[in-house]
């Protein structure tokens, strides 16, 4: 496979620190890009294999303005780094007083940029007012331009380019990539080796597009019934099982050279409110929280996750009434002290309601003082930067705290920057499709109905709400390929439901009802056969078709309780 060192995208990177020791190969990493054999030492002679030493060297010569810029990770308008249309230029002027994303990087000496995508049915859409990702080729061209802009900054460090590519309902780039199922599908499959292999494939594709940080996996543990706002973004309701899944996802991503992010610390799964609009309460006792929420974060940290994202959450048993993002007790005493995390702590979006309780500058200082290192999506970039600089002058923000944050950020950048960048041809490759298809097949769960042989005979008709037309079409094609006759109407009805659907969206005529998201709605379905795929991707529909046709078993087990239904109707 043709490879391109990320250092060639940013020529100055060859003078920076290199990756640390390469991890031992895992089955999931088979076929991964080999590490760089040798890299010239830094100008000061700092050890090539010691990113932390290189980071300390750079931090020592940066100005206050450089340091303040390195902790900022906003979004920008426009699908190109340097050429945007008048509407996007106007939006960037309002956001940052510049026309293009590249100019934003230069003006504020940014340490990072998050790529965003808006879709109506995305639960995180309120913090993504625009879309600057379209397809892998466009994203690679955009990230290359962004890195070229960052190369001219005094820090001479690569840009941290992040994206919320969780898959499932939160997916930024869908066109042309290998679509993983939701986290809950991996929880249903209960096979960490499959999880690691699938996330390694995802990591290679993200790396090929120039993404250095994925804001995934979600480490939140749901309550038993899967209630709350996180849903299928979580692996499930069993903290111990989730811990193994989170660690596997971290290993998979990072073996491909993309830093993984555990979110939303200290845990969004036992909450009912949405932190985009209000401050959710984590109401468990300290002991219950440590048992029910902490294990996946702990395992992810032990697996080497590069980042942990702080949630705007009220952990009453530790620091009542204070959003975790702004809590020193949570972000420093618990995360650093109790869990021994040494990587980058990044805030959840600072343009969410609980973080906007204070002006942007004050919020930036409060988040840094709590223990965060990177500030994601500040609502006013200039005000956030100016607040940091003012804090340094008044002493409300100690320079030692800021340099500590930047040192961690640069260490992470230097650790990932020289991993060879895969050729764009890996995106959607047959090997990746095969790895992910195995996880999809292992996830299919029958909660009611028979488990052997074809699940229906004769022709079938596939129905679904209008918003599920892509999944319906993919299932029809997959059923036909599996030898199941499909007709427009009059056949045995197979009904699809998905994210956001309600009881009214079910079809009581259906012989088979399939839930392509968190399976709770199946508790209200009357069909004699109930199936969960936890995903509406093409590969999930192909796995479903194989089960319906009797060509494959349904080995999955629901990771959450679904009314009075069993977790699986099929013997394990």
pLDDT tens-digit readout, 437-489: 999 999 999 999 999 899 999 999 999 999 999 999 999 999 999 999 999 99
The pLDDT score that the predictor gives to residue 394 is 97
- Quick check: do 3-10+44-426 and 444-548 share a fold? no
The pLDDT score that the predictor gives to residue 119 is 72
Per DSSP, 214 falls in state E
- Mean predicted confidence (pLDDT) in 499-519: 96
- Identify whether the C-beta of residue 222 lies closer than 8 Å to the C-beta of residue 423: no
CATH number of the 3-10+44-426 domain: 3.20.20.300
The Cα 213–Cα 572 span in angstroms is 37
The pLDDT score that the predictor gives to residue 15 is 27
Q: Which residues pair with 72 in a beta bridge?
A: 375
- Mean predicted confidence (pLDDT) in 346-354: 94
Per DSSP, 99 falls in state S
User: Where are the domains positioned within the chain?
Assistant: 3-10+44-426, 444-548
For 315-336, how does the pLDDT look when each residue is reduced to its tens digit (9 = 90+)?
Answer: 999 999 999 999 999 999 999 9
Identify whether 348 is a catalytic site residue.
Answer: yes
CATH number of the 444-548 domain: 3.40.50
Q: Is the confidence at residue 271, as pLDDT, over 60?
A: yes
- Identify whether the C-beta of residue 189 lies closer than 8 Å to the C-beta of residue 445: no
Mean pLDDT over each residue of the chain, to the nearest integer: 90
Per DSSP, 218 falls in state B
Single out the residue of 198, 138, 551, 125 nearest to residue 349, CA to CA.
125
Strands, DSSP E only, in 127-255? 160-163, 213-214
For 371-421, how does the pLDDT look when each residue is reduced to its tens digit (9 = 90+)?
Answer: 999 999 999 999 999 999 999 999 999 999 999 999 999 999 999 987 889
The pLDDT score that the predictor gives to residue 148 is 97
- Identify whether the C-beta of residue 482 lies closer than 8 Å to the C-beta of residue 460: no
| pLDDT band at 125; cut points 50, 70, 90 | low
Catalytic residue, from 348, 373, 501, 517: name it: 348
Catalytic residue, from 270, 276, 312, 495: name it: 276
For 12-60, how does the pLDDT look when each residue is reduced to its tens digit (9 = 90+)?
Answer: 332 233 333 333 333 333 333 222 222 333 443 444 568 999 999 999 9
Percentage of the chain beyond pLDDT 70 is 90
The pLDDT score that the predictor gives to residue 3 is 37
Identify whether 276 is a catalytic site residue.
Answer: yes
Q: Is the confidence at residue 118, as pLDDT, over 60?
A: yes
The pLDDT score that the predictor gives to residue 39 is 32
């Amino acid at each position: 496979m043709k490879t391109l060192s990320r250092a060639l995208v940013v020529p100055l990177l060859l003078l920076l620190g290199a990756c640390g020791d390469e991890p031992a190969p895992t089955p999931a990493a088979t076929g991964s890009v080999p590490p760089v054999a040798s890299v010239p030492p830094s100008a000061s002679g700092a050890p090539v294999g010691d990113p932390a030493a290189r980071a300390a060297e750079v931090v020592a010569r940066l100005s206050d303005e450089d340091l303040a810029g390195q902790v900022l990770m906003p979004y920008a308008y426009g699908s190109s780094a340097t050429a945007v249309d008048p509407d996007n230029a106007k939006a960037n002027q309002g956001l940052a007083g510049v026309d293009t994303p590249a100019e934003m990087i230069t003006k504020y000496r940014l340490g990072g940029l998050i790529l965003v995508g808006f879709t109506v049915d995305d639960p995180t859409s309120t913090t993504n007012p625009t879309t600057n990702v379209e397809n892998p080729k466009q994203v690679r061209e955009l990230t290359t331009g962004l890195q070229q802009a960052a190369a001219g900054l005094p820090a001479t460090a690569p840009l941290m380019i992040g994206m919320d590519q969780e898959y499932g309902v939160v997916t930024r780039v869908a066109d042309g990539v290998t679509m993983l199922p939701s986290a809950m599908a991996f929880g249903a499959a209960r096979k960490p080796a499959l999880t690691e292999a699938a996330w390694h494939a995802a990591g290679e594709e993200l790396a090929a597009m120039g993404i250095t940080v994925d804001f995934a996996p979600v480490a939140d543990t749901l309550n038993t019934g899967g209630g709350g706002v996180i849903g299928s973004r979580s692996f499930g309701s069993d903290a111990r099982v989730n811990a193994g899944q989170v660690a596997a996802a971290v290993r998979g991503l990072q073996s491909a050279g993309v830093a993984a992010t555990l979110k939303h610390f200290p845990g969004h799964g036992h909450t009912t409110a949405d932190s985009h609009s209000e401050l959710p309460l984590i109401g468990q006792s300290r002991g219950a929280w440590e048992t029910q929420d902490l294990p996946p974060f702990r395992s992810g940290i032990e697996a080497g996750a590069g980042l942990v994202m702080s949630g705007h959450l009220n952990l009453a048993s530790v620091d009542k009434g204070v959003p975790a993002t702004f809590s020193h007790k949570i972000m420093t005493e618990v995360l650093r002290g109790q869990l021994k995390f040494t990587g980058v702590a990044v805030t959840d979006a600072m343009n969410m309601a609980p973080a906007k309780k204070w002006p942007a500058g004050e919020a930036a200082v409060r988040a840094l003082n709590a223990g965060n290192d990177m500030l994601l999506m500040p609502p006013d970039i200039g005000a956030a930067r100016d607040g940091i600089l003012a804090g340094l002058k008044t002493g409300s923000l100690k320079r030692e705290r800021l340099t500590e944050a930047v040192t961690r950020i640069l260490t992470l950048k230097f650790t990932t920057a020289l991993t060879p960048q895969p050729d764009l041809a890996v995106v959607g490759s047959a090997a990746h499709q095969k790895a992910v298809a195995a996880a999809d097949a292992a996830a299919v769960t029958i909660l009611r109905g028979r488990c052997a042989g074809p699940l229906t005979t004769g022709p079938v008709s596939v129905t679904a709400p209008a918003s599920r037309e892509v999944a319906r079409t993919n299932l029809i094609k997959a059923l036909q390929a599996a030898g199941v006759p499909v007709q427009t109407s009059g056949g045995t009805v197979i009904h699809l439901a998905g994210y956001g659907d309600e009881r009214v969206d079910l079809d009581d005529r259906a012989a088979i009802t399939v839930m392509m998201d968190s399976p709770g709605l199946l508790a209200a379905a009357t069909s004699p056969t109930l199936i969960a795929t936890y995903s509406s991707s093409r590969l999930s529909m192909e796995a479903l078709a194989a089960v319906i046709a009797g060509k494959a078993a349904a080995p999955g087990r629901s990771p959450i309780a679904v009314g009075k239904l069993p977790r699986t109707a099929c013997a394990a």
